[in-house]
A and B are shown apart, each in its own frame.
Chain A
Amino acid sequence: MDFLNTLTDNTELFRKGFLGTLALTGSSALIALVLGTLMAAFRVSPVPVLRWIGTTWVTILRNTPLTLLFFASVFAVPKLGLNQLTYFVLAMATLGFYTSAFVCEVVRSGINTVPIGQAEAARSLGLTFSQTLRTVILPQAGRTVIGPIGSVLIALTKNSAIAGGFNVVELFSTQKTLTENANPLFAVFFWIALGYLLITLVLSGIFRGLENRLAVAR
């Protein structure tokens, strides 16, 4: 049967693509979470320069089409003398930076849900800004943030497909080879979509679990 053969005859290709997507999504998610949280901290910090950096970062990245960012990093960054970077690294950075802007806004709105009195109490004990953020604000923001962060990471998984258009081996890019090898179009897209669905379902499961865990933990 053609439909099933598309998968069974190309397991190695699918495996590579699937792992590529997994690696790309995982690594850029890590960058996005770390950088996004840092930028959120910048945006609420008492230092004007840091606030400006945070705001600028978010404004630029959130308002530029991702495909355009990919163009910029794949074609322009090597011209800046950074030509030893692989396509994978460039894609990882692009996705990570882009997604960090969304993580930042989610974290920032989470911070805003924590009553102002919590920070005032921490500050009046003598905690510094970063101590206040780390031990009092972010743990409380976490509860409201975890759901939306899940959505951002699911979007990231799907956005990672764009990297396939820029010479990165990932799930979506397998369709080129597969269709060239005369596999039925519908089957190709079905199996690829199933691959993405697998990742996003696992992601939503993890985040639902986290959400319940945090809801219980108080």
Chain B
Amino acid sequence: MNDEPLVVLDGVNKHFGALHVLQDIDLTIHRGEVVVVIGPSGSGKSTLCRTINRLETIDSGNITIDGSPLPQEGRALARHRSDVGMVFQSFNLFSHKTVLENVVLGQTLVRGTPRAEAEKKAVALLERVGVGHQAGKHPAQLSGGQQQRVAIARALAMDPKVMLFDEPTSALDPEMINEVLEVMRQLAEEGMTMVVVTHEMGFARSAANRVVFMADGRIVEENTPEAFFTAPRSDRAKDFLSKILHH
């Protein structure tokens, strides 16, 4: 990690009708940094992630990635999105396509990579996340943990500048959580810039550079994982941590 800012949110506000889901969010993510976003359900964590690749629009403020502001619409926005990898809670693999096709599609359609080259890269990525032997299957034939690892490979195939993970292990059976976290941990070690919404404290402690705590649409507290989990400063964070620790 260095001090070069990669993703910058500056005074970001967003409403869903009367609900003020993001309130004056200022957040800078540096190249190679791993930021864990944590907070109660409904605090705006998903929305925050989704504004970074403009799956949600914002009402005011600015978001820049690698120095350039997010385009409004069309091809420029699509190109921008291809630089931001996203991993969803519910995997969202293309269910009518094989695992291999899932990882090939973006490369050929968006990057214009020749098919043979794209397949080679897809195979390599699938092997890297440990599902190389599943390439010919359809997503429904895979376990949740395997599907999520394919989803990570699919995002990595675009060579993104930053990866967003929105509760990537929340939909998984407990025994599959670690295989996904392990892939993410490795990615972090290799220097990928990551924003990870998760309540997995083990992951936060071992892989994150920083924890951002959100409540009611605001960033209430930011700290190193160690400091945040052992000595939270705000009452909201203390309250929240006591709840998830006692589960």
Contact = CB atoms under 8 A, between A and B. Distances in A.
B186 interface: no
Contacts of B240: none
B36 interface: no
Interface in A137-174: 139-140
B53 A124 contact: yes
A121 B96 CA distance: 13
B55 A120 contact: yes
Contact of A125 (B75, B95, B106): B106
B1 interface: no
Classify the secondary structure of A's interface with B. helix
Interface stretch (A35-43, A59-67, A128-136): A128-136
A117 B92 contact: yes
Contacts of A128: 74-75, 78
B110 A126 contact: yes
A46 interface: yes
A120 B92 contact: yes
Interface string B97-112: 0000000011001100
Nearest to A120: B55
B189 to A, nearest CB: 24
A124 B109 contact: no
Residue in B75, B93, B96, B151 whose Cβ sees the most chain A Cβ within 10 Å: B96
Nearest to A47: B73
Contacts of B138: 218
Contact of A127 (B86, B88, B93, B106): B106
Given A118-B95, A120-B55, A218-B96, A126 B79 contact: yes
B88 A125 contact: no
B94 A118 contact: yes
20 contacts: A118-B95, A120-B55, A120-B86, A121-B93, A123-B55, A124-B86, A125-B105, A125-B106, A125-B110, A126-B78, A126-B80, A126-B82, A127-B105, A128-B74, A128-B78, A135-B105, A135-B109, A136-B94, A140-B95, A218-B95
A-B pairs with lowest CB-CB distance, top 4: A126-B82, A125-B106, A117-B92, A121-B92
Given A118-B94, A125-B105, A127-B106, 18 more contacts: A117-B88, A117-B90, A118-B95, A120-B55, A121-B86, A121-B93, A121-B94, A122-B94, A123-B55, A124-B55, A124-B86, A125-B82, A125-B106, A126-B158, A127-B105, A136-B96, A218-B95, A218-B140
